[in-house]
Amino acid sequence: MSSQKPHVLVVEDEPAQREVLVYNLTAEGFIVDKAASGDEALALVEEATPDLILLDWMLPGVSGIEICRQLKTRPATRQVPIIMMSARTEEVDRVRGLETGADDYVVKPYSVAELIARIRTQLRRTRPAAVGERLEHGDITLDAATHKVYRAGNELKLGPTEFRLLATFMERPGRVFSRDQLLDRVWGRDIYVDTRTVDVHVGRLRKALLRDGGEDPLRTVRGAGYALR
């Protein structure tokens, strides 16, 4: 029940470097997947879209730069931040990395602390609730650091599932999430829950948000899912 945590995919062919990253990122509270080659990375991304990809430049087979180019042209992954990692230090390579669509670039040997700071910078843009930011939408405020929710200044009591649901909606106001997408993001992709459970929890969230009156901020889109107005 921790899928609110950001999901990072580490693509690195050097086993020692890969394991150091997996260890440190897991310790930082990320959900980490790993791949040792570009082909493996593409297959994993197909299965579940990560929130961010750490991508080694020099990989056996398909190069990191080619993987980056492919991911940045696919609609499903275009928005996923990619941080390239490379031993190359020449300025021309740095420019080439960014031209391929990489969002950031670190040169090996990098400091793990700095890399994590850069990951958080990217996620603050794309997954703000997951990195402890304060989100506001209309008269609703969600403080991800303290796990508190306010409507018109009054604190609301939400269960953990309702909190994660609201955070998901508030990260992408207006976007319609299907029940399956909500199951993936709020319950986690490895947990079997009936889609009707989503309706039950959205109902509870709506009730909590309407406790003191006001307009219903949640929109039910028939046949499609739910969205924040």
Binding interface with Ca ion (CB under 5 A)? 13, 56, 58
Sheet holding 134-137, edge to edge: 134-137, 140-143, 148-151, 154-156
User: Measured from the CB of residue 18, what is the shortest distance to Ca ion in angstroms?
Assistant: 9
Residue in the shown chain whose Cβ atom is closest to Ca ion:
58
Specify the residue, 104 or 162, whose C-beta has the smaller distance to Ca ion: 104
Six-digit token pair at 209? Answer: 């948000």
Cis bond before residue 109 (omega within 30° of 0)? yes
User: Measured from the CB of residue 13, what is the shortest distance to Ca ion in angstroms?
Assistant: 5
Asked whether the beta carbons of 129 and 142 are under 8 A apart, the reply is: yes
Residue 165's Cβ-side half-sphere holds a number of Cα atoms within 13 Å equal to: 27
Specify the residue, 108 or 219, whose C-beta has the smaller distance to Ca ion: 108
Specify the residue, 56 or 184, whose C-beta has the smaller distance to Ca ion: 56
Specify the residue, 86 or 168, whose C-beta has the smaller distance to Ca ion: 86
Q: Considering only CA atoms, which of 8, 146, 179 is closest in space to residue 83?
A: 8
User: Measured from the CB of residue 161, what is the shortest distance to Ca ion in angstroms?
Assistant: 40
User: Measured from the CB of residue 19, what is the shortest distance to Ca ion in angstroms?
Assistant: 14
